[in-house]
Structure 1
């Protein structure tokens, strides 16, 4: 396997949408390279590079919203990722509804299962790795939506849907305090 395809084996978090607002202009991008870093305090990592229109918005504003779409939004999420906010108003193009953030200026996205408002927590990995470490300041789920069917990007236009959940809590003897 080519080394530039290894990410398909060790896949990060689900496909997400990242919204930003800078100088009054909102933007949304698709992101398939993200992961949880830790849980106390909570940190989320996202790869967003200078090739992304959102990069400069995030560098300058220091904030974004991570919106967690469900599998029924997959085609729209892929289409959002195929164009640049420098050329297209993605909110109009894809009929997205921006909802004011509760703590930050970046908009939340209606219709997503969850919206996590985040502030940049540490910028030391942005320039060398295009890696933003983000700290959530507010999280909200949509109570009208059932538990989500999230999806993961595996490269080359292929995605995997989450399958059934298995409950092994009784085996977590060393980590019961986390349950």
Structure 2
């Protein structure tokens, strides 16, 4: 059994993924300005039990809401010690969405999902497109809706982003993506 991941290493791998995949492959055209900004919060949770995962999520939700956007624009909540199974992750993501709604923040904060084994339903397991939502660790991205609206409004064609990502990832090919992926862990 391998030792539990060290939070500092988890954050470094997450930042490398952001630089190499999210920004490096231009999967999110809005991410580049935040890449090196102190307003990008990466919170590494050491929680492993369900109740502790929920508390970690609610604490980050509260922190995002109680802090000005200039200080915390967006938060990546990373779970290196839990949710290794993609199905378990999806179950928890549903719980997180429910907690968000119960807090009255639906329409104020939105969640984006990333997981090492991310697979889009209906796509072949070997599809390169899965890499658009793969991250080194199970991750929930908490985004301020107002910020997303401002960014999307300023983009010439936000609806085309997912399709362009699939085309770009397919053009690179799974082998190239796997090589880049493994480099995150070296």
Structure 1 length-normalised TM? 0.26
Q: Which has the higher helix share?
A: 2
Structure 2 length-normalised TM? 0.25
